[in-house]
Amino acid sequence: MTGIFDNPITMITLCILSYQAGLFIHRKSKIQVLNPLFIAIVLIIVVLQTFHISLETFDKGGSIINMLLCPATIMLAIPMYKQRATIKKNIVPIAVGTIVGSVVSMSSIYGLCKLAGINDQIAMSMLPKSTTTPIAIAISNTLGGIPALTVAAVIMTGILGSILIPSLIKIFRINNSVAVGLAIGTASHALGSAKAVEIGETEAALAGIAVGVAGMVSVVLVMFI
């Protein structure tokens, strides 16, 4: 049994099957809170705990899945290319929106950490929560944070964005596709952008732009911390 779990293919299969189970539950229930990624994470944790599989063993396959994160993010370039005319037309709102969004995101989480009496190392780990994972890890390392905690914060931010943003759009009656896309990409990075793809092509394109620009803005802001 141990030999089976030591095989990276087994861990990759576990990831794929868990996510497919999450998709199935989400589609059948149609409940936004039951996010496929969140369900997959819970199922994987249950399996690891049940069979006493170490994180190091899981990471033999998990690291391969993680390696595909950057190529998957780059795929957002397709709707961006198709919507290049819209992007050129709204270049100023894109720049202003992502800069303001990044500043608010980083300053608010830092302020809340200070208000709650959380130490600086954890605060620095939480700071890049709204940037895509590779950039967030680099920022966390630069600031002396804990990369594992940063990854957890990034994932939870993306999941919450996927769950809450569609409802917030309806509540505040936001009908502008550019505004919706920028909000999703700036607030909840690539995971949120996956939800933007479901909403529409324009939203997906602007979310993809926001992910990249917000990441660069966050890197620049770190230089002043």
Question: Mean pLDDT over residues 183-201, rounded?
Answer: 84
Q: Which pLDDT band, with edges at 50, 70 and 90, does 79 fall under?
A: confident
pLDDT at 148: 86
Q: Rounded to an integer, what distance in angstroms lies between the CA atom of residue 102 and that of residue 130?
A: 8
pLDDT at 54: 86
pLDDT at 3: 63
33 and 150 Cβ atoms separated by less than 8 Å: no
Q: Model confidence over 84-142: pLDDT tens digits?
A: 899 999 999 999 999 999 999 999 999 999 899 999 999 999 999 988 888 898 899 99
Nearest to 136 by CA among 92, 196, 145: 145
How is the chain split into domains, by residue range? Answer: 2-67, 77-222
The beta strand positions in 36-164, using DSSP E, are none
Task: Return mean pLDDT, the chain.
Answer: 87
- What residues contact 216, with CB distance under 8 A and at least 6 apart? none
- What residues contact 197, with CB distance under 8 A and at least 6 apart? 79, 203, 204, 207
Most confident of 54-68, 92-106, 152-166, 191-205: 92-106
pLDDT at 2: 54
Alpha-carbon separation of residue 115 from 79, 118, 181 (angstroms)? 40, 8, 31
202 and 183 Cβ atoms separated by less than 8 Å: no
Half-sphere exposure of 43 (CA within 13 A, CB side): 20
Question: Mean pLDDT over residues 168-181, rounded?
Answer: 89
pLDDT at 160: 87
pLDDT top residue among 223 and 209: 209
Question: Range with the lowest mean pLDDT among 65-69, 184-188, 194-198, 217-221?
Answer: 65-69
pTM of the model: 0.79
> pLDDT at residue 1 above 60?
no
Q: Rounded to an integer, what distance in angstroms lies between the CA atom of residue 68 and that of residue 168?
A: 30
Q: Model confidence over 10-51: pLDDT tens digits?
A: 888 999 999 999 999 989 988 877 888 889 989 999 999 998
